[in-house]
Amino acid sequence: MFNVALGTLLCSCSRAADSDQPPATNRSTATAFAMAEAPVESPAASGDAATVHAALPTNSGAGPVTAVSAALLPASTGKLPVLMVHLVTDTDALYTITKARFRHTLALLYAHGYRPITVAQMIDRRIDVAPGMRPVVFTFDDASASQFGYIEKNGSLQIDPESAVGIWLAFARTHPDWKPRATFCMLSGAEAGRSFFGNKGIEGQKTEWRFRKLQFLRDQGFELCNHTLWHANLAKYPDAFVQEQIARGQLAIDSAVPGYKVRTFALPLGVWPKNRTLAQRGQWRDPKTGVVTRYNYDAILEVAGGPSVNPFDPSFKPLSIRRFNLQHDAVDSLVARLERTNTGYVVPPLSR
């Protein structure tokens, strides 16, 4: 059983976004947003496994597989960290890290042979990381401006160099094999600027920039992941509400990037709905348009836990992926421990 106290604790970083009851203004904004965008019934619903895999290089953010053929990789043991990031600000707390710590973490991981991949790549075992290197997955939750901000300068938009995406891209410019591979689990209609990385002028972010941000992430090769409409505690609501929250989050992504196959879903607060299967698949019919949106995910992200097992491990469960919270010096300790105990996953050499 889950409880509210635990759920609140698990995502205290974005208290406003995590509120179970958005204010009336927010609810209407979210509704207006969903209605304003042309609803498109997701092609994801009917995709079988073969379709999903075939679509991966262009739609999942995994990009071309260049270094290692998945078919040549033997089953292996070893942990593969799936890191969870919330706010990137000026303080270190449970769900907040400083910009300096984020920069430090990228440099630390790089120096220890880690290279980023997306959740979609992980579950497909399409790991385009050179043999001898260590894959790592970054997941970003709640779609705050601290993750991806724009600055307007002389009439043009620039990525805020102090936002996580700005820091990531700057690091990649000096470390070319640090690719744009991470998974962004987004809210599309939450309050406090948690609507596709900011809206309504909150933290300087304009509402009309939101879709552009998603398109940029997709174009770079990052993965877009659904984190619901406004971050409700799904255990507290009936089945129909659960499906509406999830489907409308997906619908909004489709409005920004039409046809995008959303494959990964992150549970708000790490809390499962009472009917657990609804986290993975379900549908919602828009009462105004009659359009039905279906979802059927290949990966579900939980919150707490240590480093995940690697996807070649028989115990790997893509519909229940644990994540490791990036807080204080936890990742420093994790990297040291995995090396000391030789329990980290390393991409093996080509077998032939």
Report if residue 191 touches Zn ion, rule: CB under 5 A.
no
Choose the stretch contacting Zn ion; rule: CB under 5 A; options: 3-11, 34-42, 203-211, 329-337.
3-11
Nearer to Zn ion by C-beta: 138 or 312?
Answer: 138
Q: How many residues bind Zn ion (CB under 5 A)?
A: 3
Name the residue whose CB lies closest to Zn ion.
141
Q: What is the 3-state secondary structure (H, E, C) of the chain?
A: CCCHHHHHHHCHHHHHHHCCCCCHHHHHHHHHHHHHCCCCCCHHHHCCHHHHHHHHHHHCCCCCCCCCCHHHCCCCCCEECEEEECEEECCCECCEEEHHHHHHHHHHHHHCCEEEECHHHHHHCCCCCCCCCEEEEEEEECCCCCCCCEEEECCEEEECCCCHHHHHHHHHHHCCCCCCCCEEEECCCCCCCCCCCCCCCHHHCCHHHHHHHHHHHHHHCCEEEECCCCCCCHHHCCHHHHHHHHHHHHHHHHHHCCCCCCCEEECHHHCCCCCCHHHHEEEEECCCCCCEEEEECCEEECCCCCCEECCCCCCCCCCCECCEECCCCHHHHHHHHHHHCCCECCCCCCCC
Report if residue 254 touches Zn ion, rule: CB under 5 A.
no
Binding to Zn ion by CB under 5 A, coded x per residue (else -) over 138-167, reads ---xx-------------------------
Minimum Å gap between C-beta 266 and Zn ion is: 7
Nearer to Zn ion by C-beta: 106 or 190?
Answer: 190
Q: Which residues from 98-127 bind Zn ion, rule CB under 5 A?
A: none
Nearer to Zn ion by C-beta: 243 or 325?
Answer: 325
Q: Which residues from 10-69 bind Zn ion, rule CB under 5 A?
A: 11
Minimum Å gap between C-beta 9 and Zn ion is: 13
Nearer to Zn ion by C-beta: 39 or 189?
Answer: 189
Nearer to Zn ion by C-beta: 141 or 302?
Answer: 141
Minimum Å gap between C-beta 278 and Zn ion is: 18
Nearer to Zn ion by C-beta: 19 or 29?
Answer: 19
Minimum Å gap between C-beta 227 and Zn ion is: 6
| Contact residues for Zn ion, defined by CB under 5 A | 11, 141-142
